[in-house]
């Protein structure tokens, strides 16, 4: 039976379900329960300010066997005018009937609201966790990335869902930039005056506005782009402030104007794997020790962008590589040995070119599926 989520007990079931489904998967990492609760809470997640959301659970008797969300993002509809809605948070037992019932509930709800195409998974938006893992099941996900079991793709495709787009996660384990990357940086520095500096944590809110402006400029021509709102990046900054230092990010200036930015995060998943979703009473101390005292070996770069006028130019590549070089020079002497660059659209040629220049490879593939609603 499919039932809309209603009340605290259902929210708990929604959050707890994956722990049972992935009990035998050593690569799954349970997110922190408090983060998941906040993410699903309309009062705490600014996505709800411009979206309509519904959650469902699938039940077999008293046992929860599946979950799904459906959402309509008004910012997406305003920008793309394509009558597209979204599903997300899809988790279920390997049962064709359960998958069919969950997707039918989401599709019917979307159709009743004038939606003609469904796309996903998005938890909840393209600026958050998104995509279904279809390659790279043998390693854990990095922070704010998804994991899945192989049968998920099979079940979706059996219901008529087809690939809309793939995105890649690249891994980097080099200890220095390759000669070609250094040459591109050197050439860019000869062309114009470039200043690269860490994020100023004393003026964090102002820095977030610079990052937001560059992000929205940089990504606006990308497939599926939806601008991140000031409220969303402020919430993200607030959530991450405990985890980051100014040295974890860079803002590049060209002739005194903000031109590019990059943000790296400790791979928190590596630090919370044994916490079972709970920070309290003792998990918080383990987490802080691992992030503040122990060397951080694993990192992820979730945010990177350059001002639009530098798109498609070798100078723009030099800006990005210059910031990455700065981060290399900070992180590696302090113990970093692995970085994930994600996610990158499969047809984003400038970024895939930069990834190749860095000697990195796509080691995970995430697929966005879609289906027309007749």
pLDDT tens figures, 77-93: 999 999 999 999 999 99
pLDDT per residue over 149-182, tens digit each?
A: 999 999 999 999 999 999 999 998 876 788 999 9
- Are residue 225 and residue 163 in the same domain, yes or no? no
pLDDT per residue over 40-56, tens digit each?
A: 999 999 999 999 999 99
Q: Tell me if 198 sits within 8 A of 249, measured CB to CB.
A: yes
**Any idea what the CATH number is for the domain that residue 104 is in?**
3.40.630.30
- Are residue 157 and residue 224 in the same domain, yes or no? no
Q: How confident is the model at residue 286 (pLDDT cuts 50, 70, 90)?
A: low
Of 167, 213, 127, 220, the C-alpha closest to 346 is 167
User: Has residue 104 got a pLDDT over 80?
Assistant: yes
Residue 374 has what pLDDT?
Answer: 80
Q: How confident is the model at residue 289 (pLDDT cuts 50, 70, 90)?
A: low
pLDDT per residue over 182-194, tens digit each?
A: 999 999 998 888 9
- Are residue 194 and residue 209 in the same domain, yes or no? yes
- Are residue 272 and residue 217 in the same domain, yes or no? yes
User: Has residue 106 got a pLDDT over 70?
Assistant: yes
Neighbours of 117 (CB within 10 A): 15
Residue 67 has what pLDDT?
Answer: 99
Is 363 within a domain?
no
Residue 118 has what pLDDT?
Answer: 99
- Are residue 161 and residue 179 in the same domain, yes or no? no
Residue 308's alpha-carbon distances to 204, 217, 278, in angstroms, are: 23, 6, 42
Is 239 within a domain?
yes
Mean pLDDT estimate for the chain: 92
Distance, in Å, from the CA atom of 243 to the CA atom of 291, rounded to the nearest integer, reads 7
Q: Which of 92-96, 122-126, 308-312 has the lowest mean pLDDT?
A: 308-312
Is 118 within a domain?
yes
- Are residue 320 and residue 279 in the same domain, yes or no? yes
Q: Tell me if 66 sits within 8 A of 13, measured CB to CB.
A: no
CA 333 to chain centre: 27
54 SS3 class: strand
Residue 367 has what pLDDT?
Answer: 99
Is 366 within a domain?
no
Q: Domain total for the chain?
A: 2
Distance, in Å, from the CA atom of 97 to the CA atom of 149, rounded to the nearest integer, reads 17
Residue 236 has what pLDDT?
Answer: 87
Residue 285 has what pLDDT?
Answer: 52
The percent of residues in the chain predicted with pLDDT above 90, rounded, is 81
211 SS3 class: helix
On the CB side of 241, CA atoms within 13 Å amount to 14
Q: Which of 8-22, 127-141, 265-279, 340-354 has the lowest mean pLDDT?
A: 265-279
- In DSSP notation, 221-286 reads TSTT--PPPHHHHHHHHHHHTTT--GGGEEEEEETTEEEEEEEEEE-HHHHHTTSTT--TTTHHHH
Residue 6 has what pLDDT?
Answer: 96
Q: Where do the H-state alpha helices sit in 50-118?
A: 74-80, 96-111
User: Has residue 280 got a pLDDT over 60?
Assistant: no
Q: How confident is the model at residue 268 (pLDDT cuts 50, 70, 90)?
A: confident
Q: How confident is the model at residue 283 (pLDDT cuts 50, 70, 90)?
A: low
| Domain enclosing residue 302, as ranges | 175-358
Is 370 within a domain?
no
Q: How confident is the model at residue 277 (pLDDT cuts 50, 70, 90)?
A: low
């Amino acid at each position: 039976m499919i039932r809309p989520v209603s009340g605290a007990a259902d929210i708990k079931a929604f959050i707890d379900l994956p722990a049972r489904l992935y009990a035998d998967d050593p690569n799954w990492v349970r997110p922190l329960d408090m983060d998941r609760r906040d993410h699903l809470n309309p009062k705490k997640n600014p996505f709800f300010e411009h979206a309509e959301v519904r959650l469902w659970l699938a039940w077999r008797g008293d046992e929860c066997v599946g979950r799904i969300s459906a959402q309509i993002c008004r910012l997406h509809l305003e920008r793309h005018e394509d009558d597209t809605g979204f599903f997300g948070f899809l988790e279920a037992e390997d049962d064709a009937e359960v998958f069919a019932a969950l997707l039918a509930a989401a599709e019917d709800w979307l159709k009743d609201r004038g939606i003609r195409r469904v796309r996903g998974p998005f938890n909840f938006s393209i600026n958050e966790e998104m995509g279904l893992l279809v390659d790279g099941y043998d390693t854990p996900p990095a922070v704010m990335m998804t994991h899945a079991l192989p049968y998920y793709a099979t079940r979706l495709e059996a219901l008529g869902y087809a690939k809309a787009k793939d995105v890649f996660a690249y891994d980097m384990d080099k200890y220095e930039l390759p000669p070609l990357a250094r040459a591109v940086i050197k050439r860019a520095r000869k062309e114009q005056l470039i200043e690269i500096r860490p994020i100023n944590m004393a003026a964090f809110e102002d820095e977030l506005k610079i990052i937001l402006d560059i992000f929205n400029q940089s990504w606006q021509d990308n497939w599926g782009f939806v601008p991140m709102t000031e409220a969303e990046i402020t919430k993200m900054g607030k959530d991450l402030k405990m985890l980051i230092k100014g040295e974890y990010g860079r803002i590049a200036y060209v002739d005194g104007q903000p031109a590019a930015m990059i943000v790296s995060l400790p791979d928190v998943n590596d630090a919370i794997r044994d916490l079972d979703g709970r920070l309290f009473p003792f998990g918080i101390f383990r987490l802080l020790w691992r992030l503040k005292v122990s060397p951080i070996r694993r990192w992820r770069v979730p945010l990177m962008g350059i001002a639009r006028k530098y798109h498609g130019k070798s100078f723009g590549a030099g800006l990005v590589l210059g910031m990455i070089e700065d981060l290399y020079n900070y992180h590696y002497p302090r113990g970093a040995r692995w970085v994930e660059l994600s996610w990158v659209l499969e047809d984003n040629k400038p970024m895939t070119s930069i990834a190749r220049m860095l000697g990195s490879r796509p080691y995970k593939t995430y697929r966005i599926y879609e289906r027309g609603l007749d």
